A and B are shown apart, each in its own frame.
Chain A
Amino acid sequence: MSILSFVVPTIFTQQNAQSVARSTCRSLVNLFVPPYKYSAVFSHQRAFHDQCKMGKGDVKLLGLWASPFALRVRFALELKCVDYENLEENFGAGKSELLLISNPVYKKVPVLLHGDKPISESLIIVQYIDEVWTDGPSILPLDPYDRAIARFWAAYVDDKAYPYMRAIITADGEEARAEAIAKLKECLMVLEDAFVKSSKGKPFFGGDEIGYVDIALGASMEWSKVIEKAFDVKLFDEETTPNLLAWIDVFLAHPAIKDVMPTTDKVFEYAMNFISPPSKKAAATAAN
């Protein structure tokens, strides 16, 4: 079925732009995601999303569009259909007064402001969101052991995967970068194994629904693509991480993620600020 035959008639109806976008989105996703996975995964999330935006008081997020940590919080808020105001820090202009007051210890984004209460540290914020907005799907598993294992893997992503990603981007010299890439790939193989055990054949770490570990790791997927593009390397492949490879596509296509995740190109351009000059030249060439 051609996309045009789906989209064109809707343009001439009275449907609003959002509905048209959703329809287009759905038809595009149908081309790239096996139909059974899409319908199984997204139909009830979409139904929940449609009755969206339930507030529980004034909610603001102090973030940065490119930050995977801030993205984690946005994913959680979107999944729970929380009505929130997204406030972008402009680090070029120095840290805002609001950020410095709200997170005096670390002075970092993201910070969730719920009424007058600031909460910092992305994974702590995600757990908070899960515990406050209980109408939506549960982000952490309900069983205490599964919940503990989810916390373990999210901590593993923070302690191992993210620092290696950062090391790859900011590495001074090819040897240091190659070492960081090797270490990250090892981590991803460990996470591949964790995915198989956690997902139990379902699309996400969290099973049928996006869960805590999906959010923790998934937030860095555009950065992973930037790394692959900039340094001509495959972090995920059919041989070592076949399940994670499939997971990335399903995760990024989810309505709560897709609307919020920045594009690879935008992140790539931003990443150029952090890559050392010789590599930048090579990366720029790779992009063209």
Chain B
Amino acid sequence: MGEGLKVYGFSISPFTRKVLMTLNLKGIKYDYVEEDLNNKSSDLVRYNPVHKATPVLLHKGNPLPESLIIVEYIDETWTDKPLMPVDPYDRAMARFWANFIDTKLVPSIKVAVLKECEEHEHEKKIEEANQWVKTIEDVLGNKKFFGGEKIGYLDIAAIWLVGWVPPMQEAAGWQLINKEKYPNLSAWTEEMLSHVTVKENLPHRDPLYAYYVWRLSGFKPELTPK
């Protein structure tokens, strides 16, 4: 067990999976505690009093919340198989695009695919989502991974596209991110899914599919699940 390492998480959440994936890619052993977010453990509240949210990493008694901060901490503490680029500019770009994914890309895709907007706004929201997907498609270019030849920090930051978008699109019955329009991202998704550690660290499709069906029917009652 790696030096008193524990992760408090919610396994269906991409934020928790980013942390677990990082630890697994580095071959670091840890204990895992699954949280019930409707009944948070006293440990979670003690270790993350500010946000009371998962994931939280506990290392040698020191707690640390916020997934991407945890990922960088793991990378800086276990320096084998580095995830962050070496060059400061490349590091700045990795952080910038990771932040973009969380603050712009993911919300826009959710709104467009799950139709979390008024009917008359939907087309505009789809256009907006496409704009951001195109942006990240161009950032990736024809690289195997965002990190180049190997999985890096930005690949981990983008894990939601690999594990959550496919069941969401399946539940919605249409594809915003498709092979024809976004060949780079599609190829990258396949590369990620064929990487053993990544594949093992994604939630199963079924609970995610069910969740998105529930989300979709909650917003549009007339939508019958397939």
Contacts and interface: CB of A to CB of B under 8 A. Distances in A.
B62 A105 contact: no
B211 interface: no
Contacts of A151: 66, 69, 72
B215 interface: no
B69 A124 contact: no
Nearest to A121: B96
B96 A120 contact: yes
Interface string B88-113: 11011101100110001000000000
Interface string B38-81: 00000000000010000000010010111001101100110000
Query: Is chain A's interface secondary structure helix, strand, loop, or mixed overall?
Result: helix
Interface in A103-128: 105, 114, 117, 119-121, 124-125, 127-128
Interface string A45-57: 0000000000000
A152 B62 CA distance: 14
A152 B92 CA distance: 17
A182 interface: no
Contacts of B50: 156, 190
Contacts of B77: 144-145
**Which of B70, B96, B100 gathers most chain A CB within 10 Å?**
B96
Given A152-B64, A152-B69, A147 B92 contact: no
Nearest to A128: B92
Given A144-B73, A148-B73, A152-B69, A131 B95 contact: no
B135 interface: yes
B89 A128 contact: yes
A176 interface: no
A33 interface: no
B95 A147 contact: no
Nearest to B88: A131
Given A132-B88, A152-B66, A124 B96 contact: yes
Contact of A148 (B70, B91, B92, B135): B70
Interface in A223-259: none
B92 A127 contact: yes
A132 B91 CA distance: 11
Contact of B92 (A105, A125, A144, A156): A125
A155 interface: yes
A193 to B, nearest CB: 9
A149 interface: yes
A167 B72 CA distance: 31
Contacts of B95: 121, 124, 127
Contacts of A156: 50
Contacts of B73: 144-145, 147-148
Given A119-B96, A124-B95, A145-B59, A155 B64 contact: no
Contacts of B93: 119
Contacts of A124: 92, 95-96, 99
Contacts of B72: 148, 151
Given A152-B69, A190-B50, A105 B89 contact: no
Nearest to A148: B73
A144 B72 CA distance: 9
Nearest to B92: A128
Nearest to B98: A124
Contact of B89 (A119, A121, A147): A119
18 contacts: A105-B100, A105-B135, A114-B89, A117-B89, A121-B95, A124-B96, A127-B95, A128-B89, A128-B92, A145-B62, A145-B77, A147-B73, A148-B70, A148-B72, A149-B64, A151-B66, A152-B69, A155-B66
Interface of A: 105, 114, 117, 119-121, 124-125, 127-128, 131-132, 144-145, 147-149, 151-152, 155-156, 190
Given A128-B89, A145-B64, 11 more contacts: A105-B100, A105-B104, A119-B93, A121-B95, A124-B92, A124-B99, A125-B92, A147-B73, A148-B70, A149-B64, A152-B65
Q: Which 7 A-B pairs have CB atoms at the shortest separation, nearest pair first?
A: A131-B88, A148-B73, A144-B76, A128-B92, A151-B69, A124-B95, A119-B92
Interface of B: 50, 59, 62, 64-66, 69-70, 72-73, 76-77, 88-89, 91-93, 95-96, 99-100, 104, 135
